[in-house]
Amino acid sequence: MNQELSQYISEAKNIVIFTGAGISTESGIPDFRGPQGVWKTNTPIYFQDFIGSEEVRKDSWKRKFSGQDIIKKAKPNIGHLAVAEIINKHESAYLITQNVDNLHQDAGVPDDKITEIHGNAHYASCLDCGIRYELNSIKKAFLENETVPYCDSCGGIIKTATISFGQSMPEEGMQIAQRKTLGCDLFITIGTSLVVYPAAGFPKLAKEIGAKLIIIN
């Protein structure tokens, strides 16, 4: 961390850090839009297609389990550790992340100081009643006979707890992220292309309210 950034952090009263896929590439997780990005090898599955077709859901779960080891084996890198240090050292600091890999939590960021606006890839949930499902049981059934999972409680469709193209952003998470941004005086972005809206609007909002904006890529 350079001296100028350290000074900004030490002088700030309310810090927001905003991270994207770029912070996790060093941990072996590919980004989405880069030369070796996920969307170069896999066409995105849109939410409405997932909802409307069991075959699409089957394909989605195949992709999930074929690539699961990459995320499961990934470890926090120096970037995640640096972010965790800032978050834990400054009581009012808060983390907004577009990442779904859970590496910030693995690095030591408490759950109450992070908002994952694109969800989390380490579990699944029912789209109707919201019950959480761990992936191990879903994976076991799927690998046996490609059984597409449905909720034991309400019969609803189960999906990984990540936000797909065309899926609504989490209302509560977006409200928290906006509130934290409006209250900050230092906004640091790390490893994000700033092209995915509405999430990419937070740095712009911070600048509009007069917060100091730092972009690290």
The torsion angles phi and psi of 16, rounded to 5 degrees, stand at -120, 130
* Alpha carbon distance 213, 186 (integer Å): 6
CB count in 10 Å sphere of residue 217: 11
Element (H, E) at 4: helix 3-11
Coil, strand or helix at 87: helix
Instruction: Look at the chain and count its residues.
Output: 217
Catalytic residue among 80, 90, 104, 118: 118
Indicate if 118 belongs to the active site: yes
In 35-134, alpha helices (H): 38-41, 47-52, 54-73, 78-89, 103-107
Cβ atoms of 204 and 180 closer than 8 Å: no
Catalytic site residues? 118
